[in-house]
Amino acid sequence: GAGVSQSPSNKVTEKGKDVELRCDPISGHTALYWYRQRLGQGLEFLIYFQGNSAPDKSGLPSDRFSAERTGGSVSTLTIQRTQQEDSAVYLCASSLAVNGAGTFYEQYFGPGTRLTVT
Amino acid sequence: TQLLEQSPQFLSIQEGENLTVYCNSSSVFSSLQWYRQEPGEGPVLLVTVVTGGEVKKLKRLTFQFGDARKDSSLHITAAQPGDTGLYLCADTAIGQNFVFGPGTRLSVLP
């Protein structure tokens, strides 16, 4: 079946503009995660959604960042008034659910959106 | 806040050599996952380890989980150019977001 898809694959924007990044998770996956990966570095957690529960926004770096997930499926990450330090690859992942006692789920990642702020 | 460290940060070896990379946590892992990320792609899960002292093998890759569940190693035998990538360890906390280490960037030269 289809994996996680993200669009656009590349985005170049001017400083101060708003951008929207889209993630289509695997059908039936209730958990969805957003990460940021700066050049040559590891993954930085941003936000996750689990079913109809309130999202965990603890990783969002500033109030310029927001995300929503409509209908428990597609998610959009919005960055307002972009800054040069926002340049990174933004990765989305989905899993069947969040981990529970004795049960651990694999995250399936999309290819990412490479954002460049000039 | 849990911190994961990985070493070495970079590793460049010749095809056929063996190598080991490490992951250490400031606190006990809930469970540990190893991922490999190739350039331009998202990470792909290699293995999940849960029990202290656990050893798992995946072809030429051997994963060990420390007895105290605070460290792990990944050993690759007879490395091939296809093993090139960023190796990430992650703690898969219950009901919470995943915490990833900074990764070890491996380059296997033909």
pLDDT tens sequence across B48-91: 998 899 999 999 999 999 999 999 999 999 999 999 999 999 98
Reported confidence tier of residue B95, pLDDT bands at 50, 70, 90: low
Number of Cβ within 10 Å of residue A12's Cβ equals 12
Q: What percent of chain A has pLDDT over 90?
A: 65
Please identify among residues 56-115 of chain A the ones whose CB lies closer than 8 Å to any CB of chain B. Answer: 56, 58-59, 91, 93, 98-101, 104-107, 109-112
**What is the structure's pLDDT at B96?**
64
Q: What is the mean predicted confidence (pLDDT) over A57-81?
A: 92
From chain B, the residues in CB contact with A105 under 8 A are: 92
From chain B, the residues in CB contact with A40 under 8 A are: 105
Dmax (CA) for chain A in angstroms is 46
> Which of B42, B88, B94 has its CB closest to that of A42?
B88
Distance CA A30, CA A78 (A): 21
Residue A59 contacts residue A45 (beta carbons within 8 Å): yes
Reported confidence tier of residue B94, pLDDT bands at 50, 70, 90: low
* Residue-wise pLDDT tens digits, A10-60: 999 999 999 999 999 999 898 999 999 998 788 999 998 988 888 888 889
* Residue-wise pLDDT tens digits, B7-40: 999 999 999 999 999 999 988 888 899 999 998 8
**What is the structure's pLDDT at A104?**
72
Q: What is the mean predicted confidence (pLDDT) over A64-86?
A: 94
Who has greater pLDDT, B110 or A104? B110
Residues of B with CB under 8 A from a CB of A: 6, 30-31, 33, 40-45, 48, 50, 86, 88, 90, 92-103, 105
Judged by CB atoms closer than 8 Å, whether chains meet at B40 and A110 is answered as: no
Both tokens of A81, joined, read 């008034």
How many Cβ contacts (< 8 angstroms) between chains A and B?
67
Q: What is the mean predicted confidence (pLDDT) over A76-87?
A: 97
**Sign of the C-alpha dihedral computed for residues A59, B70, B19 and B61 taken in this order:** negative
Residue A89 contacts residue A6 (beta carbons within 8 Å): no
Cα-Cα-Cα-Cα dihedral of A79, A84, A86, A89, to 10°? 120
